[in-house]
Amino acid sequence: MPQSPAPVFKAADDVSIEAPVIVILQAEGQALGPRAAALDAAMGGIVSRACSAPAALSECGACIDLVPPRAVSARRVVVLALGKADSLTAFALAQAGGGLGAHLEDKGEDEATILLDPIEGTNLAASDILARVALGLRLRRYRFDLRNTKPVAAADKAWRLQLVGADTAAMDAALARVNAVAEGVEYARTLVNLPPNHLHPDSFAAHLEPLRDAGIEVEVLDAAQLKELGATALLAVGAGSVRAPRLAVLRYRGEGSSDQPLAFVGKGVCFDSGGLCIKGGAQMFDMKADMAGAAAVVGLLLALARQKSPVHAIGVLGIAENLPSGHSLKPRDIISTLSGQSVEVFDTDAEGRLILADCLYYAATRFEPSVIVDLATLTYSVMRGLGSIFAGLFSTDDAIAGSMIAAGETVGERFWRLPLDHAYDEGLKSPLADLRHHAKDMEDGDAPYAAAFLRHFTEDRPWVHLDIAGKELAGEDRPLGRQGATAFGVQMLEEWVQASRKDA
């Protein structure tokens, strides 16, 4: 895959002044711990003087770069500020790690020892603190590049980082989880970053093959199988493309997991031109990322499988291209769906809900899951309504909705619950079909109507719809990632799955 090699993290018992780069994690208002104090003494008090400056440690993620004296052979010592101890969270620590990653890369460093002394005033275990910093560093480290020729640089090497200050067994366990999460995020980012001539319905299955190595079963249904199955809505969306739609099923079953799975459904429109209701040029430019929901499902299952989580999870991906041609879906077409319900089509640029209709029903009836969660870059209205901070969440289950929102707050992927009310069904009535596929006025808060439409295909199972439109790409570098794909949703769902398993 076209991405930089992942950093190699290793737990260590102690820090050596022979290390090329030493990083001290330090909270605001606290004295240096024993390891940092010993290093400070060897450096003639340089570390403590730097940390004593007003507000030096107040900004979590800020780096103080120090040049040690000759008595210490390290090239540099970096103090990574953590802010106030009582404000430390998993997300803040990951952001701090991202800041450290950017700093080390800027300095051309690819090897470091990160040390942590006990921090007073936080309930977080030392292993979790170090692991979350490592996660942020790794996520910020990810880069995607398809150039055929480029100079070899430090950025292309695997970083080597030792982590000091936690019990080795606990550290190894925490690293196993964050490395699994990072691998899932990185894989999802790469899928979204791939150009549309590299990732499309004909090639998507090849990009799923590496999942088998993690213990994930992969099944791909082609157009003939979808026709026999009756997945007419999915086929109709992709009818305008020379590349026929697919439906991919991913299955991971951890040791000791329950028979009834969790089901995750992803919208996988590899390119969305809008179909016959074609988008404007500016709107179309980033539509290679309209499969970000499917990519997030792939990343989630990979994260669960890599850490051998004892859960049973199913992924269902609806894969298609929405393109204009003489075969394309047309406004006012009436199509059938896998559920048997007929749908009157209006705007062919609202194709995602048609794909999800078949995929939701397929997941509900084939696997009878305990919960169904779908992710989709679905509506412009959720972007206008919630802006750049929150993604939209709709749910038939209050407890699940609350736990997902909490999981999102933990990892920094934030969701706001939006209304899912039967009153919206009034706008979906058609005189000619069982449903019209969106309300008459597309500008009238379309996101709740889309959710109301999708509920008709869930077989009344506990269900969450995540509208992640606008969150799939970042226009500039951020603390936890570079410009490009974000893999939004992978971390929240992994956190939710693990928290739900512990609460069960």
Residues belonging to the active site: 279, 353
Helices (H) and strands (E) in the chain, counts: 15, 19
Cα angle 114, 119, 120; round to 5: 175
Name the one residue in this structure whose structure tokens are 């910093």. Answer: 133
Q: Helices 490-503 and 168-193, interaxial angle, to 10°?
A: 140
* Cα–Cα distance for residue pair 181/495, rounded to 1 Å: 9
Phi, psi of 103 (to 5 degrees): -65, -45
Measure CA of the first residue to CA of the last residue in the chain; give whole Å.
37
Burial class (CB in 10 A: 0-12, 13-18, 19+), 82: buried
* Cα–Cα distance for residue pair 126/121, rounded to 1 Å: 12
User: Given its phi and psi angles, is residue 71 left (phi above 0), alpha (psi -120 to 50 degrees) or beta?
Assistant: alpha
* Cα–Cα distance for residue pair 267/297, rounded to 1 Å: 9
* Cα–Cα distance for residue pair 75/66, rounded to 1 Å: 9
Structure tokens at 454: 């999708």
Specify whether the CB–CB gap between 345 and 329 falls below 8 A. Answer: yes
For residue 44, give every residue at least 6 positions away whose Cβ sits within 8 Å of its Cβ, in sequence order, or none: 69, 71
Q: What is the DSSP string of 239-281?
A: TTSSS--EEEEEEEE-TT--SSPEEEEEEEEEEE--TTSPPPH
Name the one residue in this structure whose structure tokens are 């031109």. Answer: 273
Rg (CA), the chain: 24
* Cα–Cα distance for residue pair 71/45, rounded to 1 Å: 12
* Cα–Cα distance for residue pair 377/466, rounded to 1 Å: 9
Dihedral (C-alpha) 238, 243, 247, 251: value to the nearest 10 degrees? -150
Structure tokens at 107: 């300095």
Q: Which has the closest alpha carbon to 485: 292, 294, 302, 293? A: 292
Specify whether the CB–CB gap between 277 and 326 falls below 8 A. Answer: no
Structure tokens at 486: 């974000």
Dihedral (C-alpha) 293, 294, 297, 301: value to the nearest 10 degrees? -160
